[in-house]
Each structure stands twice: as C-alpha cells, then as structure tokens.
Structure 1
Amino acid sequence: MPTLIPRPWPMQAGLSAVCVIVGYAIGALIGWGFRASSRRWGWHPRRRWRLWLWAGLGAVWLVAVAGGALAWTQWQNVQRDVMGMPRLDLAAPALMIGGAALAVILLLLVGRLLRRALGALVRYSRRVGRGHPAAPAVALAGMALVVLVCGMLAFEGLTRLATWHYGAENDSSEAGIAQPRSPEVSGSPDSLVPWSSLGRQGRTFVSETTTPAELAAFNGDAPLVSPVRVYAGIKSADTLEARASLAVRELERAGGFDRAVIAVWIPTGTGWMISESADALEQLYGGNSAIVGIQYSVLPSLFTVFMKPGEAAKAGTALFNAVEQRWSELPEDQRPKLLLFGKSLGTEGVEAPFAASDGRSSVGNLVARTDGALIVGATYVNPLLTQLTREREPGSPVWAPVFDQGRSVRFVSGDPHQHAIDSPWLEPRIVYLQHPSDPVPYWGIDAIWKPPEWLDAPRGYGVPAEATWFPIVTAILAVSDQIDQLSPPDGFGHNYGTDYVQGWSTVVPPTGWTAADTRRLEEYLAHHEYDELE
C-alpha cells in the first residue's frame, strides 16, 4: 500500500520482509494458543484437514503476493506521476518479490538461531539449577540484563564513533570553499570568529553569501547593501551560551543591528544553514539583512535526535535570548525586524523559547517577542506544532490546520489550490511551510494502533487516494518515509525548494513587494543549484 513517499523496490523488499516476519510471529503465537487449547479440550483436527488448510492458505498467499506486487507497482507509479518522479520499470515487481523472499529467509534463520539459543539456555539452567522451577526465569533475566548492558555499551560506542567520524568531517571544507574577505561575514580577516573554528557547514554558509553582482542581477538599480552572515561553530566557543554571546558581539561588529531585518537561524544537526532560504531573504531585501546562527552538534539530525536530545532547543533558546537582549537595548525606532527561521530539527530550537501550556499562550509569546517566523517541516514532537494541530478549528485538516481564524499563524502546504483564509492576517506573521506529503510533521509511534490523521479526508496535495491504514504495517512503512523524505522533487516530501521565497515574502514582505516579485524571485533562484541534504 502507498504512504507519503514513493518507495524503490529494494526499500519495499526490506519492508515487506519485516511485515512478513511480524505476521509470521503473530500467526505462530495464535497457532501456539490454538494447539494449547486443542490439547486441553482433547480436540485434534485430522491430518487431512490440516493439509487442506495449509494448501488453501498457500494458494491464497501466492495470489496475494502476485496481486500485491502488481498493485504496488501501479500505486507507486500513480504517486510518482503526481510528484514528477521516474516510473518503476517492468522488472521492479519481480525484483521486489525476489528481494523480499531472500530477506524473509535471512530473518527466519536469525530468528531460529535465537530461538535455539534461548532453548539451550533454558535447558542448561534447568540442569545447573537441578530442576528448580525458577532457574529458567533467572537465566533469561540474566541474559536480558547482559543484552541491556551490551546495548548501552554499544550505544555509547556508536556515539563516540559517530562523533569522531562527523567531527573529522566537520574539520574539513567543501571543495571550492575559500575564506571570505568581506567584513560583513564571520570568518573574514575582520571577524571575531576564526575561520578555522566555523566548521564545515559554517564555512560553506559564510563563503556563499549573496554577492553584490548577484544582488544586482535580480534587484537591478535598487539600493543595495552587503548582507551580514554571522556564525559560531562548535569550536568557536565551549558552550552554547558562550557561542550565543560571541555571535551577538560578531553581529554587532558586522553591522547586523543596522540592517532592516535580523533572522535568528537555528540550523539542523550538522550545523547546516539552508542556502536557498538564506539567498531568498537576502535578495528579498537587497542585501539589507542579517542572519545569525550557532552550531550545536556535528552529527546529522537523525543521530542528534537520539544521541544529543534537546540540544537544538537549548541552542535556539540561548541564541534567541542573547540576540533579543541586545536588540531590546536599541531605540525602538532603530530596531531591525527580529525574525526566526528553522527547518526540520532546527524548528525545535525556533519553538523552544516560546512554548507554553497551550497554543494561544505559545503563539502570544512568539508574537510579542518577534516580528515574524518561518518554520519549515517542523517535527512531529515540536510543542507548538502539537498545540496548533491539537487545538485547530474543527474541519481544518492536519496538514493545514487553522488556528484562531489564522490571525497570527498560517500553514502553507504547497498545494496550488490550497483554500485561502478570509479573515485578516495580522502582523507579526508566523508561517509554517508544511507539505502534506512530508512525513516529518506527521510520523508517530501511535500509527501502530490507530490511523494517522493525514489519512483523513480531505487529503492533502500529493497524498495518494489509495493509501489506507493497517495495524502495525502502516507504522513499519512509515519508517521508509522518514528515510526517503528527501527523495521527491521540490514541493513534495521534505524538499521545500523555492517555497522559501513564498515563505519569506509572506512573513515579512518589503514595502511595495508584489506577487509578481515573488514569482520572479522563485524563477531566478530556480536556476541556481541547491541541495536539501544537510
């Protein structure tokens, strides 16, 4: 069955194998209960009946496998057509079935080996315990303890290995990246932040600041200034608070508080700052902008979530509070607009300083302390997103919730036919960019036992009509959505592309900015090469 993201045949083969093994385990448990009941009540089905039953089940299974493979190919191609992805070829269903069969055999062998090992342990414990009834339970508990301790040690070892590997990568630089000379950016000869301390993502971010020539190519003869980009890496200061303090001093040195807007920017796990969004904001304001961010991890977001949980929230709180404090000391008529930006894991840091007990209070905090926020692909567990979704107006879908008649917060789904909200949109504005086909805002463990809300009608743009919920299976398939979230093209999944232009021009449009300007900037940036991978 389809879910939010189209699946290639190797991914589907692995997921199908897992589903088969889960079904096999459930069936084996039911069979064990049936045999136990039969023995208790003295009822033993005839051997001929059992053979007919197994033959019937085998025939149904073969038909289901063949029909399911063909249906899967059709569903996937319909979804791929909508998203503009290449169709599966004719060999895909056969390859998928073959790959799934091999994976099932391998998993069954592993399961049988584990069962034999447990059986041997129980028999050994009975011999050693001289038939004591508690001996097997003690042995199994001891084995569970050993597995737990080994698991904890393995997790610690994996954390250290990942930190070492990605730490070494953080010390490197992308090909073609050179130290900037402009005093308006970190890492330059005038900067308070050494070039060597910025890390891989930080060096890329500051060295790719929009140039005067690029500004002129889009803005023409309009007044232009050099954009400010400030960044403090993991090695720029020892703690998050120290990095935030350094970033504020650097922001002041570079002239960031003299710009029209300052964007407090919470990066993803590796410290990645989304280039297309930064370019969009700088072009929108003709360079009269400042962006400031700090690094809180060298690990990719998926690793950071498990190995350094809560770090993005701490970084967002530290950086925003530090910038806000200096910003509030300026005369009111000389303050730039104070904005927030984050994508994916970074959105956790955007929401953290303002989270309260309910959506109205959280939104009130955000509106009172900022001039706008652009939140892209927020994670399922984000406190503010959870509140807005839970407290949305009846009838509004989970992929485009309407909160408080859209007075301050609105969701932009990327659907060209998204229903417009008629009520006035007050300033400051908060925009959530959230594709209906992006699994990040919707994935949860509760999909095991209840249908996720993205399956409700009306369904969002790009969500297949054929998608249905099945206990356990849907949750297993959702894992592949998380893994392949960036595989669709711009406008689907976790790929937001030129949506950033619409986002910024909606949150904080310059005076005189029009919808035609938005389209023109989208077309201009579409000719640049960007990568949504961190």
Structure 2
Amino acid sequence: MTRLPTPAFVVCALAGYLIALYPGTLPRGAVTMTLLTTALAATGAIVGTLLSRRSTREPDAQARRIAVGAGTLTAAFGAGVAVWWQTVVRAAVGAPPVDVWWWAGITVAPAAAVAAIALTPRTTAVVAASAAALTAGLLAPAQAEAHDGGAAVGSVTTSDGVLRGDLASGGFDDAAADLVHRWVDAGGVSADTVVVAVPTGSGWVDSTAVEGFTRRFGHDIRVLSLPYSDVPSWQAFVSDRTAAAESAIAVVRHLAQAVSAHPGHHPRLVLYGQSLGAVGADAARVWLEDHHPTLLSETVLTAPPAGTVEAVSRSPRKVLANRSDPVVRWSASALWHPAGRPRDTVLDGPRVPEAPWLPVVSFLQTSVDLLSALDGPPGVGHRYGVEQVG
C-alpha cells in the first residue's frame, strides 16, 4: 500500500506553492500561473523528498495524515486568496475576471506534479529533465528582436518628429556633435523648446511623450535623440547601462556649446527619458546642474528602474511611475530590502493593491510581473501616455 508523503515533503511543497501564489500588481494569464505554481510546487516537493531521505526518523501514519490534511486545507485557502487578489487587480485595471482555466492552472497542474513526485519520484525526475532539455532546444534558436515599437535606430528625421542621431560603435562624441549640428542647421536654436529625449535600449522614443510635449509647449519644439544601443532595453540594462548616461551627456554638452555660440534667444531645454532612457536623462541633468545650471528648464523621468536615478534633484524634475509598474520596483537589491522611490515621484494609473514586501519572494513576484508589464493600456504596468510629460 502506498504511504502518504512525509511532513517534510508536504511543508516544502506547500511553501513552494504559496510562494508562487504570492500576489503581484498586474493581471497574470492562466499559462503564466500554471507554469509558476507547478514549477515552484514541484521544486519544493523535490527538496522535501531529499530532506525526508536524509532524516533518520520515520514519521508515523498519523503524522503523515495530519500533514497532508493541513497542507491541503492551507493550499486551498492560498488558492482562494490568489483568485480574490487577481479579481481585485483585474477590476482595478479593467481586465476581464479569471476564468476556469486560471482556476485549473493553479490547482490541478501543481497538484498533479506534486502527486507524481510523491508516487514515482525517479520517473518524474526523468520526465522533467527530458521536458526541460526539449524546451531548451526549442527556445535556443529564438532571438529577441531589438524593437520597442518605434523607428529603427540610426535614422535621421522620422514621421514622429524626432531628430535622431546615428548609432555610434565607439564613443558618442562625434555622433552627438553631428546631431546637434543638424539641429542648428534646421533652426533649432531659434525654436521655443528643445527636448533631449534619451531613448530606450533599442533606440525607441515613446511617440505619446512627443505628442504630449507638443500639446504642452506648442509646435515650435524640437526633439533630439541619440541612440546608444540596438538591443532590447533589458539587455542594455544588464550589459551596459552607462551607455545611456554617456550618450545623453554628450548630447547636452554639445547642445550647451551650440547655444553659447548663438547669443540672444535660448530655447527652453527639457530632458526626458523613459525606463532605461530615464537613467541617461538623469545623468545629463546632473551634468548640466554642475556645468550649465541656467540652461536646464526641467527634467521628466518616466518609470526609471528602481535605484537607478538620484533621490533628489537641484533643478525642477518630475518622476512618474504607474502604481502597477514592476519596473520601478525591480532591482537586485530588492532581494533583501524593498525598493525606494525618488522624493519627487508622482504615482499615476489605477490604484491596485500591493502586498507586503517579503525578502526574495517579492523580488520573484516582481520579476514575474515584468513578463506582462507591456500588455495593458496606458496607465497600467509599464505603459504610459501623453500625461507623462505633465
């Protein structure tokens, strides 16, 4: 007769399951939740199996029954809370409620995986390893496109009204000088406003921000942007986030020189950056405050990743973050302490519930939220509209 699993097995599997259910701030699809709960519950079950085998004391049948019964009730309660939380989040952002597949994904799939490990651990391990190898083989040839929804890097003036520089393979000085020179030749010095828009990793500038600046300042506005990479922002963020700062500083340095060479009218200078671009825009702000403090009018930062920009500013600055945006909460340091915000942060978007911070667990859930951060409408997750520029 097959015995019930040990208390150690139940506790470890339950811990993995509850960690997977710990709530985030964005709607999550059934597939995501199925994979997450199954993977963490199975991982916990494997750890529990190893601990049980190392134990020299064999639990009796009564202890096993109590552990399984209490674990089942706790798991059911956790699943109910997870569904309730998702319902609240989805209602707040206007997403449809969870369906039967969502329910089945967080209950049937992880329960089946844990039961398989308990009954046939060796067979389950072979199947899991084969599935992991097959998945890795299928995903290996895939390559993410360096595209964020905007024009390609290295172009000149595009239909979105942005004057773009060339993507430099080495330093940014020559590319920045050429961009500013073309801006001067196009009559930029006599314009009312110039916006230095630091792009995301792939060279994308949010067209809704450009539209917002046009509404705010009128049509006598010039937008300059110098790309510093041609890979998705997350890759640029991991590999070399200093490039955003270096390129932005190169542009404002040459811009300051050009303005100084034309006495008289000076255009209003605004710095803007979204996501990784906010890192570069804030670095340019600091440089201007140190070298040309009277030239800078204001800085607008949208959704900077946690801990990447200065906490305070000596010049007018606005930092905008959606309440449900995981990007503004994500950083490696969030593993051991909650992410902070700059003092001038303005929270926007629908009010969503936010679970208490837990070490490691909150970092994991924020990382999961990143997968769907761009799926919602403006104001939800990492999506922003014309309101971001004030």
TM-score of the alignment, normalized to the shorter chain, above 0.5: yes
Describe the SS at the equivalent of 1:441: helix
Which residues in structure 2 correspond to 1:225-304 (within 5 Å)?
A: 229-234=162-167, 239-304=171-236
For 2:277 and 2:123, locate their aligned partners in 1 and report how far apart those are by CA, in whole Å.
39
> Which residue of the partner structure matches residue 496 of structure 1?
384
For residues 104-152 of structure 1, the C-alpha deviation after alignment (integer angstroms, 9 at most, x for no partner) is 779x879946999xxxxxxxxxxxxxxxxxxxxxxxxxxxxxxxxxxxx
> Which residue of the partner structure matches residue 352 of structure 1?
283
For residues 11-70 of structure 1, the C-alpha deviation after alignment (integer angstroms, 9 at most, x for no partner) is 12222234324534664575567x2xx5xxxxx45xxx4332222222223223333222
1:340–1:373: 8 Å Cα contact kept in structure 2?
yes
After superposition, the Cα gap between the structure-2 partners of 1:336 and 1:8, relative to the gap in structure 1 and judged at 3 Å, is same
After superposition, the Cα gap between the structure-2 partners of 1:204 and 1:272, relative to the gap in structure 1 and judged at 3 Å, is farther
For 2:224 and 2:89, locate their aligned partners in 1 and report how far apart those are by CA, in whole Å.
39
C-alpha deviation, 1:99, in angstroms: 4.0
> Which of residues 2, 8, 20 is equivalent to 2:41?
20
1:448–1:471: 8 Å Cα contact kept in structure 2?
yes
C-alpha deviation, 1:166, in angstroms: 4.3
User: What residue identity is the alignment partner of 2:175?
Assistant: R
> Which residue of the partner structure matches residue 443 of structure 1?
330
> Which residue of the partner structure matches residue 141 of structure 1?
none
> Which of residues 312, 321, 325 is equivalent to 2:257?
325
1:316–1:353: 8 Å Cα contact kept in structure 2?
yes
2:192–2:221: 8 Å Cα contact kept in structure 1?
yes
> Which residue of the partner structure matches residue 3 of structure 2?
none
For residues 60-105 of structure 1, the C-alpha deviation after alignment (integer angstroms, 9 at most, x for no partner) is 2322333322221221011111111221123421133334456777
For residues 324-344 of structure 1, the C-alpha deviation after alignment (integer angstroms, 9 at most, x for no partner) is 22223332x411111100000
For 1:113 and 1:99, locate their aligned partners in 2 and report how far apart those are by CA, in whole Å.
18
C-alpha deviation, 1:382, in angstroms: 1.0
2:160–2:210: 8 Å Cα contact kept in structure 1?
no
CA RMSD of aligned residues (A): 3.8
> Which of residues 483, 489, 501 is equivalent to 2:371?
483
Unaligned runs of 5+ in 2: 1-21, 130-135, 342-346
> Which of residues 246, 263, 267 is equivalent to 1:336?
267
For 1:110 and 1:269, locate their aligned partners in 2 and report how far apart those are by CA, in whole Å.
44
Larger Rg: 1
1:52 aligned to 2:62? yes
> Which residue of the partner structure matches residue 98 of structure 1?
108
After superposition, the Cα gap between the structure-2 partners of 1:437 and 1:320, relative to the gap in structure 1 and judged at 3 Å, is same
For residues 392-412 of structure 1, the C-alpha deviation after alignment (integer angstroms, 9 at most, x for no partner) is xxxxxxxxxxx8xxxx6xxxx
1:84 aligned to 2:94? yes
For residues 267-320 of structure 1, the C-alpha deviation after alignment (integer angstroms, 9 at most, x for no partner) is 001100110111121233331111101111111101222234422122222222
Number of equivalent positions: 351
For 1:295 and 1:203, locate their aligned partners in 2 and report how far apart those are by CA, in whole Å.
10
TM-score (norm 2): 0.76
For 2:160 and 2:51, locate their aligned partners in 1 and report how far apart those are by CA, in whole Å.
61
Describe the SS at the equivalent of 2:100: coil
For 1:4 and 1:91, locate their aligned partners in 2 and report how far apart those are by CA, in whole Å.
20
For 1:286 and 1:110, locate their aligned partners in 2 and report how far apart those are by CA, in whole Å.
68
After superposition, the Cα gap between the structure-2 partners of 1:354 and 1:498, relative to the gap in structure 1 and judged at 3 Å, is closer
> Which of residues 429, 433, 439 is equivalent to 2:320?
433
Give identity over the alignment, percent. Answer: 22
Unaligned runs of 5+ in 1: 39-43, 117-153, 175-198, 210-228, 357-361, 389-402, 409-427, 505-534
> Which residue of the partner structure matches residue 152 of structure 2?
200
User: What residue identity is the alignment partner of 1:256?
Assistant: G
TM-score (norm 1): 0.57
For 2:349 and 2:217, locate their aligned partners in 1 and report how far apart those are by CA, in whole Å.
31
1:19–1:473: 8 Å Cα contact kept in structure 2?
no
After superposition, the Cα gap between the structure-2 partners of 1:365 and 1:431, relative to the gap in structure 1 and judged at 3 Å, is farther
